[in-house]
A and B are shown apart, each in its own frame.
Chain A
Amino acid sequence: MMKWIVAAIVSGAPVLAAAETVAPADVTFDDYGAVEQSLTGTPGDPANGAAIVGNKKAGNCVACHQISALSDVPFHGEVGPMLDGAGDRWSEAELRGIVANSKMTFEGSMMPSYYKTTGYIRPGDGFTGKAAEEPLPPLLEAQQIEDVVAFLATLKEE
């Protein structure tokens, strides 16, 4: 990925925001599963992140996690830990790593990997039950990941 950006600069092509997006296969996780580099270079929008977290058709994070800040969204699940205070417990890089691919932080975690496109068993085409070729579209786009991370960073204990 870096090579691609460097090549773009060297060749004199304009560096657009899209060109700075880190592709799913190029995300660099550190030894503890954190991702230092922003996936887009554009700061996340916490309000949009909150919408993604609560939306059944987007992140649907509340399916498994309780989040007091989203108490207006019905039916929070109990499968994963409560996310209140997540912004105190985890750095931005750690949150980015957990959302992108939590299994790099918590081995064997049940949590889906939101920014991973290959390596699945019987990958399907969304919820159709039909087969799909890898790479699959990631569950969330790069900027959506950044928005979710920005929202999670606001979850501080009083």
Chain B
Amino acid sequence: MKFKAMTAVAALLVAAPTLGMADEDAELVVNGEIEMVTKTEPPAHLEGALPEIMSGWRFRSDETQQTQMDDFDNPGMIFVDQAQAAWDTAEGSEGKSCASCHNEPASSMEGVRAVYPKWNEEAGEVRTLAMQINDCRENQMGAEPWKYTGSKMTAMEALISIESRGMPVNVAIDGPAQSTWEQGKEMYYTRYGQLELSCANCHEDNYGNMIRADHLSQGQINGFPVYRLKNTKLNSSHARFKGCIRDTRAETFKPGSPEFVALELYVASRGNGLSVEAPSVRN
């Protein structure tokens, strides 16, 4: 596993300067068995803002696309292995591991990633997967919370996401989650910073176009946490949001902040119907 993954990384380094465009008709099937929906009808709440929704996978080069098609080639899977070890390791004052309560992720975490962020009735708030993981660590295990965008957190998110791969993203946007969703929508269309750019300027109005050397996608987050060839690690959606808003020359928001939780819920909902791909591979 490790040897094959390293070989794949070496091959990628050789192919790195390629700026090939994606094959628009390519379909994503992982390990020859998980059929991913990477293009489909938009959810009703978009009200025609997008004619169809498309995974970021469709906007990447052939080489990058192929790297996600086999778990032996997907460098993100190394971190899934690490998270499985963490899952089974007891930590904190209660002497518990994730496995103590949740057994194996294959049985307990099926479908979880597809519905997060999600309203938590007891807490009275919308929670991301990362928030729920840290809630478990602090309140069930008596352990220190992980850094929101840190490598342990993204790895654990990837491990949990694996059990939803191929399932459609299906976050709830009504009921008690609605006001958070509205807040996220408002943010999506706000033109932040000295460059006065909203998420929509690039990812709704200009997806498919080049901005300098970058091929703009729809900014969908069904593939997060995502392994980026650029920084050779798993990246959380909040780290990407932080970077995007920073790049508008704005005062950005903090990962895990109520603002980014709201934005994550809204952006996730724009991808309702796309398959959970995490850990996906992007450039």
Contact = CB atoms under 8 A, between A and B. Distances in A.
A2 B73 CA distance: 66
Contacts of A120: 193-194, 196, 250
Contact of A124 (B210, B211, B216, B251): B251
A129 interface: yes
Contacts of B246: 124, 127-129
Interface in B188-236: 190-197, 201-202, 205-206, 209-213, 216
B209 A79 contact: yes
A136 B195 CA distance: 12
A76 B210 CA distance: 8
Given A113-B196, A136-B194, A123 B210 contact: no
Contacts of A132: 251
B205 A110 contact: yes
A56 interface: yes
A139 interface: yes
A112 B195 contact: yes
B53 interface: no
A112 B194 contact: yes
A136 B202 CA distance: 24
A76 to B, nearest CB: 8
A77 B251 contact: no
Nearest to A112: B195
Nearest to A108: B191
Interface string A118-154: 0011111011111110001001000000000000000
A127 to B, nearest CB: 6
B249 to A, nearest CB: 5
A129 B242 contact: yes
Contacts of A127: 246-247, 249
Contacts of A76: 210, 212
A136 to B, nearest CB: 6
Chain A contact residues (Cβ within 8 angstroms of B): what range? 20 to 34
B283 interface: no
B249 A126 contact: yes
Chain B contact residues (Cβ within 8 angstroms of A): what range? 20 to 34
B205 to A, nearest CB: 7
A121 B193 contact: yes
Nearest to B253: A122
B256 to A, nearest CB: 15
Nearest to A130: B251
B160 interface: no
A60 B211 CA distance: 11
A129 B192 CA distance: 11
Nearest to B247: A127
Given A77-B212, A110-B197, A110-B205, 20 more contacts: A56-B212, A74-B213, A76-B210, A79-B206, A112-B195, A113-B196, A120-B196, A120-B250, A121-B191, A121-B192, A122-B245, A122-B250, A123-B249, A124-B246, A124-B252, A129-B245, A129-B250, A129-B251, A129-B252, A132-B251
14 contacts: A60-B212, A64-B212, A77-B209, A79-B202, A79-B216, A112-B194, A112-B197, A113-B196, A120-B250, A122-B245, A124-B246, A128-B246, A129-B246, A129-B252
